[in-house]
Amino acid sequence: MTNFDAPAISNAVVAFEEARHPPRPTGIIEDEPQWRLRPSGSAETASGSRVIATRWRSLGERAREVTAETPIDCHVIGIALRSLDARLSVCGRTVLDGAAMAGALLVTAPAVRCHCVFRGPYDTLHLHVPNELIAECVREMTDRQAAEICSGFTSTCDPELERLGRTLLGAKDLAGSFGRLYVDCISTAIIVRLLVPADRALASERPKVAGLVRWRLKRAIDYIEAHLAEPVSLADVASATGLTRVYFSAQFKAATGLRPHEYLVRRRIERAQEMLVEDGVPIVDVALSVGFQNQAHFSTVFKRFVGQSPHAWRQSQGCGTRQRQTPATLHLR
């Protein structure tokens, strides 16, 4: 009778399986080493039925130029998690040159080449969606003629997609199969959301008025950026664009998907995040520097947008806790 070396056979089987199925990255949502790039070792998974979620982010101010091409086996869905300033081109055609709101969307089909120059901070969630999964979702829909993901860039904020994107970030707190299931479920909801709007679902949400022309939108955004630390009224911003408050408000929302005040508050929170990563800046100073009258109100609004208190978010970024001395009068406001 032949003698079998059981441990050797077991090791050989394990080695064979590892060669066929390379280990996946341990993180549920990993930061991208390069723009729109799947993490190493995820190719086999992406060719199956699961979505790979990655994040491209920086709070730095320096410009960064990047280029990427969508893999042949998937679509890439990008959702902006904060406002950004960039020049973006898809297949050689410029689709954005200026500001994009949080919730802006870039969907690319397989083998599509993109180029982008980021002029400041950015934070984008990317979903690498296997073509097979999209086809599976289409088969589950009753009206297949309308079920198609439309590639391209959309600068108008889609609040529902933005909420789903931020909800997806919660997967980082889950481990193992729970985190994977969480990503799969939320990602599927995003895919289905994108499959329908071309024909019917978002017809009622299309703007009833024309959006601001580019130069007026730039004037409005520049005015808000220059006055984040001050009280800003709707009349002030409208006057900067040469429009009445009513016309400006309607056209601003048509162009961005946000009311002017919503955009103002978002930018204040985003500027606050940039300041919070600076070691030694007291939270109360951050609050006052972005237009809030006191730290309590700032903390409430910050948590509503970010999901964490300013202190907890700062710690989650690995920032130091040492703070500069602040005049007592600031704490009494």
Amino acid present at 56:
W
Phi and psi at residue 39, in whole multiples of 5°? -60, 155
What is the pLDDT, as a whole number, of residue 70? 94
Rg of the chain over CA atoms, in angstroms? 23
What pLDDT, on a 0 to 100 scale, did the predictor assign at position 108?
Answer: 94
Report the percentage of the chain scoring pLDDT > 70.
77
Does the pLDDT value for residue 230 go beyond 60?
yes
Give the per-residue pLDDT at 248: 93
State the greatest distance between any 2 C-alpha atoms of the chain, in Å, as a whole number. 95
Measured CA to CA, the distance from residue 289 to residue 130 in angstroms comes to 44
For the stretch 70-119, pLDDT in tens is: 999 999 999 999 899 999 999 999 999 988 888 899 999 999 999 999 99
CA dihedral (293, 294, 297, 301) in degrees, to 10, reads 70
70-73 own/partner pairs: CB under 8 Å, 24+ apart: 70/36, 70/108, 70/109, 70/110, 70/111, 70/112, 70/113, 70/114, 71/38, 71/43, 71/46, 71/110, 71/111, 71/128, 72/110, 72/111, 73/43, 73/46, 73/47, 73/110, 73/130, 73/131
pLDDT at residue number 134: 87
Residue 232 confidence (pLDDT) above 90: yes
Taking 50 as the threshold, does the pLDDT of residue 20 lie above it?
A: no
- The confidence score (pLDDT) of residue 143 equals 56
pLDDT value, residue 331:
36
Q: How confident is the model at residue 140 (pLDDT cuts 50, 70, 90)?
A: confident
DSSP letters spanning 297-316: HHHHHHHHHHSS-HHHHHHH
Extract the tokens encoding 300: 């409430």
pLDDT at 144 over 60: no
**Is pLDDT above 60 for 15?**
no
Amino acid identity, position 235? A
pLDDT for the residue numbered 129: 92
CB 216 within 8 A of CB 243: yes
pLDDT in tens, 288-317: 999 999 999 999 999 988 888 999 989 888
SS (H, E, C) 140-153: HCCCCCCCCCCCEE
pLDDT at 123 over 90: yes
Write the pLDDT tens digit of every residue in 23-34.
Answer: 444 457 889 999
Residue 7 has pLDDT above 60, yes or no: no
φ/ψ of 197, rounded to 5, equals -65, -20
Interval 207-227: pLDDT, tens: 566 778 889 999 999 999 999
Are 71 and 118 a contacting pair, CB within 8 Å?
A: no
Residue 268's pLDDT band (cuts 50, 70, 90): very high
Q: Walk me through the domains of the chain, giving residue ranges and CATH numbers.
A: 26-204 (2.60.120.280), 214-331 (1.10.10.60)
Task: Write out the H or E segment, with its range, that includes residue 123.
Answer: strand 122-130
Confidence grade of residue 146 (pLDDT, cut at 50, 70, 90): low
